[in-house]
Amino acid sequence: MKKTASILAALALTAGISGQAFAAEGAASFSDVPEGHWSYGAIDQLVKDGILEGNGDGTFAGDRAMSRYEMAAVIARAQDKLKTANPADEALIEKLANEYQAELVKMDEKNEARYEELKSKIDKVQLSGFVRAKYDSDSGDKGVGSQNNNKHFYMDLEGSMKVGDKWTAHFQSETRKGYTVNQSWRKNSRDDDQDGTFQRIWVEGNAGKLGVTVGTKWWGYGFQNVSFGHAADGVQLSYDFAPNWNIKGFGLRPRQGDLVSMPDGQDTHIYGASVTGKLGHSFDAALTFMGNKDYKGRDGDRGDQKMSRLYAIDLGTNLNKDLRLTGTYTRTNAEAYRSSREIRLDYRNLDMEKVGSWNLYTRIFNFERYGDVSHDDEWGSLPADTRGWLVGFRYVPYKDVVWETFYSDQKQNCSGTSEDMKQKAKRHLFRTQLDFHF
């Protein structure tokens, strides 16, 4: 009954039922209650004791008759004031509640139905994302890497909208305001994929036992996105063919041509498959194949640039409850500079919901010029044609706020032989950033 009382009291107050019903001094009648019914006297006493209030003129709603349902709503208001009622009034309220129990139950059910209807409408649309403040100290302007946007504010806004029971529509908007050596705090003029519009729109759902994804989004394959990790137009079908095993088939057209290692940039049409699953209780594994059906070589290409296929393997294992080791190896059919490798070791898991949570990690990498299709360069911190190491730290100072800082030492693989070129092929990157997730 306490649950019923609280819900109905809120409903009565919200609907303005204080203006419903009968005279404060026993003058009005109820359509379904005979004259002389004990309810008259009980209500009159509750009004005099200040448990129920009228319109201030000695009436509840003038001369209009009151139904039993409206009467139940008034009782719900009275139940909300039980804490201030004396023992006699508590007994009266209990007697009234028993008399109109059927109406109270109906009101409870109706209110629950309204709540569920409202909840279902709200749940159809979900918004999430984060705001980032980032600063780099980067020697990349001397050669390898880039100082293209070493200080910036960034917002990622993502939305999901349910379409029936099996489909969900998504959108993503990215907005960045940055500062570089030759620019003021404003949008980077070279960045045409983060202008505050909805750059990515896609749909996910199920067609029978097949998972389906269609549209423009960020795609990543392998545990560390070394094979591919960029925005593209595409379609993907997925299928769970065994317990803990899944296969994905995909066709993609990259939207960030200047970042794609595979020649032809935005003329690249990638197709492939990726299988992920568990090897026993210790290892997670991913096998990936990608091809470029349109690449036929261009005038002036060197032999080592003619690549059209990639094969990759990812392995991950928990060494103990706090240590996670992940490794990736990719190889293409280019004639030279044709492999990429990355090893990552994480100590402890980060939990954004827990203040004080932290994570320490280190990465060793070697991304050869034609060793992958287009790995995730992670805001320019892991450019193509480089090798080196990185050590970082993440910490949660407040709930849903993550502070991350790392340092990386890098060298360019294809640096030439002159001393000047060797000096330009070195890079030292320090980055610190705060992410506010919502």
pLDDT tens-digit profile of 256-283?
A: 655 556 555 556 789 999 999 999 888 9
Q: What mean pLDDT do residues 219-227 have? A: 96
pLDDT at 34: 52
Measuring CA to CA, how many Å separate 185 from each of 100, 149, 151, 253, 299? 67, 10, 9, 32, 41
pTM for this prediction: 0.69
pLDDT grade for 148, boundaries at 50, 70 and 90: low
**What was the pLDDT predicted at 22?**
36
Q: Who wins on pLDDT, 169 or 111?
A: 169
Please give the residue that has the higher pLDDT: either 190 or 371: 371
**What is the model's pLDDT at position 36?**
61
Residue 62 has pLDDT above 60, yes or no: no
In the three-class reduction of DSSP (H, G, I as helix; E, B as strand; rest coil), residue 82 is classed as helix
Q: What is the mean pLDDT of residues 47-57?
A: 62
d(Cα 41, Cα 361) in Å, to the nearest integer? 75
Separation between Cα atoms, residue 68 and residue 31, nearest integer Å: 7
- pLDDT tens digits, 350-399: 999 999 999 999 999 999 988 998 899 998 899 989 999 999 999 999 99
Res 301 pLDDT > 50: no
Give the separation between CA 198 and CA 157, rounded to whole angstroms.
9
Residues 342/372, Cβ–Cβ less than 8 Å: no
Residue 306 confidence (pLDDT): 66
User: Which pLDDT score is estimated for 248?
Assistant: 98
Res 303: pLDDT: 44
pLDDT at position 254, please?
A: 85
Q: Which pLDDT score is estimated for 144? A: 57
Q: What is the pLDDT of residue 419?
A: 56
Q: Cα–Cα distance between 194 and 310 in angstroms, integer?
A: 29
Q: If pLDDT is split at 50, 70 and 90, which confidence band does 162 have?
A: very high
Contact of 218 with 230, CB cutoff 8 Å: yes
If you average pLDDT over residues 133-154, what whole number do you get? 72
pLDDT higher at 269 or 27 = 269
How many angstroms separate the CA atoms of 41 and 90, rounded? 14
Predicted pLDDT of residue 181: 38
Tell me the C-alpha distance between 417 and 425, whole Å: 11
Nearest to 159 by CA among 132, 131, 130, 125: 125
> Over the chain, what is the mean pLDDT?
78
The answer to whether the CB of 216 falls within 8 A of the CB of 199 is yes
Point out the least confidently predicted range of 4-18, 169-183, 193-207: 4-18
Which one-letter DSSP state was computed for residue 334?
A: -
Q: Is the pLDDT of residue 18 over 80?
A: no
Encode pLDDT of 225-244 as tens digits. Answer: 999 998 999 999 999 999 99
**Whole-number pLDDT of residue 424:** 61
Does residue 337 carry a pLDDT above 80?
Answer: yes
Q: What is the mean pLDDT of residues 145-165?
A: 80
Domains of the chain (ranges, CATH numbers): 2-120 (no CATH), 125-437 (2.40.160.10)
- Check residue 123 and give its pLDDT: 76
74-132 per-position pLDDT tens digit = 777 777 776 667 777 788 878 887 877 877 777 777 677 766 776 677 778 889 999 99
Q: Which residue has the higher pLDDT, 415 or 349?
A: 349
Of all residues in the chain, the percent with pLDDT exceeding 90 is 45
